[in-house]
């Protein structure tokens, strides 16, 4: 059959010569290539001590955001999970109890929220799907682990710290183009949350 690339080679079944049976010429040829690389410019870096510069909108480890007052933004709607092509996200919803308003912004919240980093392909569709501006990818690289179970990230690793100084800044991902996109009536559900409007609408509902 005609190959698509024209790079196919006919495999030879001829008997090996005495020199080929010694394997020495092949070993020396391999050593010559290895030694020649010692004097070439390295293309690798000693990660993690040395890091390459990456884009500000690099798609790395996720963060579950809190709002301005520190309450978790996620309402466990499941849209990120449905949008995820790798089925990497699972969650369990719970109902907010009286007195927990400072912890969870909505009446329903994610009691359990997990992302399997081994399944994730860092496509960013979960971020696109979220109507609450709750999940974002960041420029943090997921560290290596020895156990598969350690790659399943729960809320302890995903939710950003309560301390305002330790919050994960995702403002750089909100480029002018993204903000304009979210203004489109078709994507109105994805608009940034305006606390003043939320307070007004709550008052008008009473």
Binding site for ligand SF4 (CB under 6 A): 74-80, 83-86, 88-89, 91, 115, 120-126, 129-130, 132, 134-135
The residue among 123 and 168 lying less far from ligand SF4, judged by its C-beta, is 123
Angle at 75 (CA atoms; ends 198, 164), nearest 5 degrees: 70
Partners of 115 in the β-ladder? 89, 153
Distance in Å, CB of 139 to ligand SF4, minimum: 14
Nearer to ligand SF4 by C-beta: 129 or 170?
A: 129
Q: Cα torsion for 145, 148, 150, 154, to the nearest 10°?
A: 140
Residue 125, SS3 per DSSP: helix
Residue 71 or 88: which CB sits closer to ligand SF4? 88
Q: Which is nearer to ligand SF4, 121 or 141 (CB)?
A: 121
Tell the smallest beta-carbon distance from residue 169 to ligand SF4 (Å). Answer: 18
Alpha carbons 36 and 34: distance in angstroms, whole number: 6
- CA dist 172 and 158 (Å) reads 19
Nearer to ligand SF4, 29 or 149 (CB): 149
Which is nearest to 64 in space by CA: 145, 196, 151, 154? 154
Question: Minimum Å distance from CB 88 to ligand SF4?
Answer: 4
Q: How far is the CB of 52 from ligand SF4 (least distance, A)?
A: 21
Please say which residue, 75 or 138, places its beta carbon nearer to ligand SF4: 75
Q: Minimum CB separation from ligand SF4 for residue 177, in Å?
A: 19
Counting runs of H as helices and runs of E as strands, what totals does the chain give? 7, 5
Among candidate residues 164, 69, 160, 150, the one with its CA nearest the CA of residue 115: 150
Question: Least distance in Å: CB of 64 to ligand SF4?
Answer: 7
Measured distance CA(83)–CA(130) in Å, rounded? 9
Report helix, strand or coil for 109.
strand
């Amino acid at each position: 059959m005609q190959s698509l690339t024209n790079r196919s080679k006919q495999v030879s079944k001829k008997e090996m010569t005495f020199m080929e049976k010694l394997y020495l010429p092949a070993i020396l040829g391999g050593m010559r290539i290895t030694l020649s690389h010692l004097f070439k410019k390295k293309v690798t870096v000693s990660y993690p001590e040395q890091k390459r510069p990456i884009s500000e909108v690099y798609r790395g480890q996720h963060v579950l955001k809190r709002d301005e007052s520190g309450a978790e933004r996620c309402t466990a709607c499941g849209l990120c999970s449905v949008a995820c092509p790798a089925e990497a996200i699972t969650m369990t919803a719970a109902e907010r109890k009286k007195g927990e308003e400072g912890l969870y912004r909505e009446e329903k919240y994610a009691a359990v929220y997990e992302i399997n980093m081994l399944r994730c392909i860092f496509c960013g569709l979960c971020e696109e799907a979220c109507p609450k501006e709750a999940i974002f990818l960041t420029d943090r690289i997921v560290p290596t682990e020895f156990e598969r179970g350690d790659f399943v990230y729960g809320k302890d690793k995903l939710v950003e710290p309560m301390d305002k100084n330790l919050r994960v800044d995702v403002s750089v991902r909100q480029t002018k183009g993204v903000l304009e996109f979210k203004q489109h009536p078709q994507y109105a559900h994805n608009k940034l949350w305006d606390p003043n409007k939320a307070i007004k609408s709550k008052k008008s509902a009473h």
